[in-house]
Amino acid sequence: MKIRTVIVDDEPLARERIRSLLEPEADVEIVAECGSGDEAIEALRATLADLVFLDVQILEPDGFAVLESLEPASTPVVVFVTAYDHYALQAFEVHAVDYLLKPFDEERFHKALDRARVAVAGRDGRAVNERLLSLLQDLKAPPGYLERLVVKSAGRLFFLRTAEIDWIESAGNYVCLHAGGESHLLRETMSGIEARLDPARFVRIHRTAIVNLDEIKELQPLFHGEYEVALRDGTKLTLSRSYRDRLQELIGREF
């Protein structure tokens, strides 16, 4: 009996990579490929898949919301595919069948697949569901605010302390971290990164910008209640009227 498998990733090349590695496996049948959370929910409910390779940060709803939407009886064995930071990776190691940290090689992929085979063969739907729910709770309630991030650059992983970040910019399905004259892309949403940063240090000033409060040098009024925010490194951003109250609260005065 073949392992009915679903591939979920919003990047076509990433889906193609996983598909190419699975196609030679005689005991695996790819029953669906999905590029968004909505597609994944529909496919997983329709196919009753045994196994899913699930990108954590797909287009909303994200990978965690996809899992939460499933009934216990239809929850498959999950291999996470992620570029998530080390806090999440620690949770994956405790609770998930396996995770693949992008970019991964063929040897690492087959190690994950072998673990998934064992899990599918001895699958207890209730136990799988309980493990996933435990994982979700760990990720929803991280131990305090982020103190550092793991950033990929030129094929390397390195640590960036959040205190070093000057400001954060929205960049499609990514955020761009500006720190000390350098910029780093992180696969995360603005709302997601905002929720994990210390609100006493970082403040959202626009739907596309979050700033380190210590880096703000000057505010200049513009029009219609907006302000120009000048940072110490010379960067100039816009404080939109809808985010003004939060900044006023942090600095302890109205303007």
For the stretch 200-225, pLDDT in tens is 899 999 999 999 999 999 999 998 88
Q: Is the pLDDT of residue 80 over 90?
A: no
**pLDDT of 5:** 97
* Topology classification of domain 3-140: Rossmann fold (3.40.50)
- Of 103-112, 116-125, 173-182, 195-204, which range is least confident? 116-125
For residues 239, 177, 171 and 132, what is the CA-based torsion angle, rounded to 10 degrees?
-110
Are both 3-140 and 148-251 of the same fold? Answer: no
> How much is the pTM?
0.52
Q: In whole angstroms, give the CA distance from residue 167 to residue 203.
A: 9
Q: How confident is the model at residue 69, as a pLDDT? A: 82
253 or 247, higher pLDDT: 247
Give the C-alpha separation, 130 to 127, whole Å.
5
Point out the least confidently predicted range of 33-42, 169-178, 242-251: 242-251
The domain segmentation of the chain, as residue ranges, is: 3-140, 148-251
User: What is d(CA 242, CA 255) in angstroms, rounded to the nearest whole number?
Assistant: 14
CATH class of the domain defined by 148-251? mainly beta
Give the pLDDT of residue 41.
Answer: 92
Longest dimension (CA), the chain: 68
pLDDT at 87: 45
